[in-house]
Each structure stands twice: as C-alpha cells, then as structure tokens.
C-alpha cells in the first residue's frame, strides 16, 4: 500500500544549504522505501489511491542521528515505568553492571524513547552484546562512533560541530564524538548537524515530523514560503509529532 505523508513544510535535505525545501510538501512511501518527494498537489494527483497522513502545520525532515548512543545505551539506565522513579536516564546507572538482561531491557526502553524525539540512527560504539541486539532489533540504524554529528549514510556527511560540545544531563557536557548527551539531538545541535541522511526517492523511508519552532506552526504554508517555494522553518526541540522508520509509523504523539 502507498502512503502519502503531507506536511506544511518539507525539508528533504537540511544538511545541504543548496537543497530546495517545499511548502505544502509530501512524501510517498511504498513499503520501506520513499517512492516520490514533491509538492502535495502533484503527488496526490499522481497517486490517487494512496492513503494520506496529513500532519498539518508541521515540518517533515529526515530522521535524527543521536551521537551519544554509547553513553545513553551502555552507561545510562532507562527506568521501567513500574519502578516509579521517573523516565529520565539515570547517569551511569549501568556502569559496572554485568546483568545483560537488565542492560538489554534498559537499551530497548532508551531506543523507544529516542523514537519519540525523531531519532532514526544512533552512534556507538556498542560493546555490550545485549545492547547490540537491542539496536539491531529496533530498526534504528546503528552507527560506529564518530567525531561528526552530521555523518550521513553511504559515506556522505553533513557539517559536524567541529569539536564543539553540547550540554548533557545534569549540567555536564559532552562532545559529539559519543560523550554525555541528551535523548533529543535538537536540544544541543542545529537541524543541519542533527539529521541523518535525506528524504529522497529510492532511499529508505526514515523521517520525522515536528512542530515548528517559534510558533510558525500556526501559520499556513503560504505565510512562510520564500522565493521559489522554499521555506525557512526549523523543527522545535522536543517537538516530534511522529517518527517513520523503514516506512513504518513507529511513534505518534498522543
């Protein structure tokens, strides 16, 4: 079945400053791949039988890459809600632990919470077998550790933070090379550095839908359209509305 995802603002490749953006854009998904990207009116006319998911006044962009995966999945502990200690990662809660069952369960919860921030790729290294299994089974793209938060698929890369560091939990700081950092990459990185890959025909359908930063989400597409239909909007940190991973809707804000 074809699914057409419509959003007021479509940013197919935020890491490329020359890439066009689209007001009132759409992405057509067949199976786990993107079949077409373009203006909504053109794509809905070309695919009249597609199921439509209309995300309204939101921005659709590639999924995000979390560069702090090693710390978040191998050292921080993600509590089970039944433990009634909150949902925030417990810093170094797995440090020194040899209980692989507990580590794997924590990693699965951490990955699920990352999906709620639009994360579709996470950087290691992942040294624990239980964590590697959790990443592989989640569908999230597992990446080796890297010094660049903007690394993309197939050897491509976007601009990295060039050695800059972002604030981590509890006031600590971490580098983009896999130090301490938050579940939400947009809390510490601009969109161009946080995205993984691009939304393009023939590519895997990994993308996310966000509320628009600065209150522009209340405007119509025409109100923020630039020259040639380009749009100048940014996703809001913590504003993920939906995450699509391999063509599947794996997270939707309630």
For 90-110, the pLDDT digits (tens) are 888 898 888 999 999 999 999
Tens digit of pLDDT for each residue in 151-175? 444 333 333 333 333 333 333 333 3
Contact predicate 6/53, CB 8 Å: yes
Residue 216, sorted as left (phi over 0), alpha (psi -120 to 50) or beta, turns out to be alpha
Instruction: Write out the chain's pLDDT in tens, 254 residues.
Output: 899 999 999 999 999 989 989 999 999 999 999 999 999 999 999 999 999 999 999 999 999 999 999 999 999 999 988 887 777 888 888 988 889 999 999 999 999 999 999 999 999 999 999 999 999 999 999 998 754 444 444 333 333 333 333 333 333 333 344 578 999 999 999 999 999 999 999 999 999 999 999 865 444 444 444 434 456 789 999 999 999 999 999 999 98
Q: How many helices (H) and strands (E) does the chain have?
A: 5, 13
173 and 111 fall within a common domain = yes
Reference 207, options 234, 174, 170, 244; nearest CA is 244
Among candidate residues 224, 222, 253, the one with its CA nearest the CA of residue 240: 253
**Are residues 164 and 93 part of one domain?**
yes
Say if residue 146 is in the same domain as residue 88.
yes
Q: Do residues 45 and 79 share a domain?
A: no
Measure Cα distances from 247 to 27, 35, 214, 243 in Å.
11, 11, 29, 10
pTM here is: 0.83
Cα(106)–Cα(215) distance, integer angstroms = 35
Q: Are residues 74 and 59 in the same domain?
A: no
* Domain co-membership, 86 together with 183: yes
CATH number, residue 246: 2.30.40.10
Query: 3-state DSSP helix/strand/coil percent for the chain, to nearest 5?
Result: 25, 30, 40
212 and 184, same domain (yes or no): no
Q: Are residues 146 and 78 in the same domain?
A: yes
Q: How far apart are CA 145 and CA 243, in angstroms?
A: 23
Cα separation of 43 and 54, whole Å? 13
Strands (E), the chain: 2-10, 22-30, 33-39, 51-54, 59-62, 64-66, 119-123, 141-143, 165-167, 173-175, 207-212, 235-245, 248-252
Q: Based on the fold, state whether residues 166 and 145 are members of the same structural domain.
A: yes
Number of domains in the chain: 2
């Amino acid at each position: 079945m074809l699914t057409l995802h419509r959003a007021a603002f479509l940013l197919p490749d935020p890491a490329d400053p020359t890439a066009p953006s689209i007001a009132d854009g759409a992405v057509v998904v067949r199976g786990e791949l993107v079949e077409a990207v373009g203006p909504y009116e053109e794509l809905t006319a070309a695919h009249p039988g597609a199921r439509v998911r209309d995300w309204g006044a939101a921005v659709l962009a590639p999924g995000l890459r979390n560069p702090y995966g090693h710390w978040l999945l191998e050292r921080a502990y993600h509590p089970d809600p039944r433990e009634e200690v909150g949902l925030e990662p417990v810093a170094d809660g797995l440090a020194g632990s040899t209980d692989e069952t507990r580590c794997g369960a924590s990693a699965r919860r951490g990955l699920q919470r990352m999906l709620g921030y639009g994360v579709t790729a996470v950087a290691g290294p992942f040294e624990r077998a239980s964590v590697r299994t959790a990443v592989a089974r989640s569908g999230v793209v597992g990446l080796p550790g890297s010094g660049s938060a903007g690394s993309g698929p197939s050897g491509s890369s976007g601009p990295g933070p060039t050695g800059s560091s972002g604030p981590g939990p509890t006031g600590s700081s971490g580098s983009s090379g896999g130090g301490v950092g938050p579940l939400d990459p947009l809390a510490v990185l601009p969109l161009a550095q946080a995205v993984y890959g691009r939304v393009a025909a023939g590519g895997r359908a990994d993308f996310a839908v966000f509320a628009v930063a600065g209150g522009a989400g209340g405007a119509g597409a025409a109100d923020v359209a630039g020259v040639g239909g380009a749009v100048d909007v940014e996703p809001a940190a913590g504003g993920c509305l939906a995450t699509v991973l391999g063509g599947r809707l794996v997270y939707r804000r309630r």
